[in-house]
Structure 1
Amino acid sequence: MINLFKVRAKQKETANNVDDKKHIKKQTAGELRLHKDLNELNLPSSCNLKFPNGKDDLMFFEVTIRPDEGYYLGGKFVFSFHVPSIYPHEPPKVKCETKVYHPNIDLEGNVCLNILREDWKPVLSINTIIYGLYHLFTQPNHEDPLNHEAAQVLRDNPKEFESNVRTAIEGGYVGFTQFTRSLVPGTGSLGIE
């Protein structure tokens, strides 16, 4: 009789293991590729990655960029990444969550970066996108603008552009638009103490 109870217990355990496997979510090809990309990340020290919904939701994450040179030195800018299930055949949707005075980022947070649009190729990775975003802060491009006013100021009067960037990072007004302070605490107005 004891053996019968052991057999029934073993059958029940086996049935439970089969049920547990049914509840394990199978990863999509996009999730597998994203997992690979995230494992191979080689971020600059001025960038970091965060998963606001926890590690169970890899398809949404945030990247914080703190430029260590250029006009935006001392600023802190957060970007949200929404990765589609068909990634890498379609690029992530990237939005700047920090209101910024920038020729290639509009006031709604839309980003003008060619590799997120017409130049996207499945061989590109999350690492490539993050370096592209970082590059927008070290070398803003007035030739392909989303914020035409900022692009014109950068092109025609770089000193005024620098002043406008400083004002925006410190939380002031540029024209009729007020910006949220994005200056990293303790960095002063020029990015140094």
Structure 2
Amino acid sequence: MLTLASKLKRDDGLKGSRTAATASDSTRRVSVRDKLLVKGTCKVHFPDPNKLHCFQLTVTPGFFCFVLCFLIDEGYYQGGKFQFETEVPDAYNMVPPKVKCLTKIWHPNITETGEICLSLLREHSIDGTGWAPTRTLKDVVWGLNSLFTDLLNFDDPLNIEAAEHHLRDKEDFRNKVDDYIKRYAR
């Protein structure tokens, strides 16, 4: 199984020999942050090794997510394992990959049937943060992972019922999320 942490480590080994002398401190800080973000939280699985354009991503909000979530008071999804099915179309990178959540989840930005509200997965977005040919699959992975932390958005929900539930009763919302994790995300 390919993990993002091992991929980042391998990529850093290749880049490190070429760019160590020229990399700025801010680039290193971003790199460290990105490593912490995905370390132990995302794994890629290819159900059919002959179809590299179709893969599953497992996002497991972990310690870093817990720390970040604690800071923004949204640590609802820690402990769950959430499966996403990704298909990279023939027209990639001019169009975004198609992503669906396979795990039933109670989330304001993911419906119970798996549709995802993440602007970078849109070909066109009003705010200019939609898909662009310069985006990569790494951006998609970070975006999906961030749906459990800093991109968790109750103000512009796809699952309106979940967002309203959170607005009405945060404790009951947390209980329902916990119930979904126990039933569907272990």
Give TM class, smaller chain: 0.5 to 0.7
1:96 aligns with 2:90: no
Please say if residues 47 and 64 of structure 1, whose CA atoms lie closer than 8 Å, have aligned partners that are also in contact. Answer: yes
What's the TM-score once normalised by structure 2's chain length? Answer: 0.68
State the shift of 1:159 in Å. 1.9
Q: How many residues align?
A: 135
State the shift of 1:156 in Å. 3.4
Question: CA 1:136/1:153 → structure 2, altered by over 3 Å: closer, same or farther?
Answer: same
- CA–CA distance in 1 between the matches of 2:102 and 2:167? 25
Please say if residues 112 and 144 of structure 1, whose CA atoms lie closer than 8 Å, have aligned partners that are also in contact. Answer: no
Q: What is the correspondence of 1:14-53 to structure 2 with a 5 Å cutoff?
A: 43-53=38-48
Larger Rg: 1
Between 152-161 and 107-116, the greater mean CA deviation after superposition: 152-161
Q: What is the correspondence of 1:4-153 to structure 2 with a 5 Å cutoff?
A: 43-54=38-49, 56-68=50-62, 69=66, 70-117=75-122, 118=125, 119-139=130-150, 140-153=152-165
State the shift of 1:182 in Å. 1.2
Q: Aligned residues: percent identity? A: 39
Matched residue SS, 2:148: helix
Determine which structure has the larger helix proportion and give its number.
2
- CA–CA distance in 2 between the matches of 1:77 and 1:92? 18
State the shift of 1:143 in Å. 1.6
- Equivalent residue for 1:25? none
Amino acid at match of 1:49: V
Matched residue SS, 1:141: coil
State the shift of 1:164 in Å. 1.1
- CA–CA distance in 2 between the matches of 1:116 and 1:124? 10
Question: CA 1:127/1:46 → structure 2, altered by over 3 Å: closer, same or farther?
Answer: same
Amino acid at match of 1:131: W
State the shift of 1:40 in Å. 5.8
Q: What value does the CA root-mean-square deviation take over the aligned residues?
A: 1.8
Matched residue SS, 2:80: coil
What's the TM-score once normalised by structure 1's chain length? Answer: 0.65
Question: CA 1:40/1:86 → structure 2, altered by over 3 Å: closer, same or farther?
Answer: farther
* Runs of 5+ unmatched residues, structure 1: 1-38, 172-180, 184-193
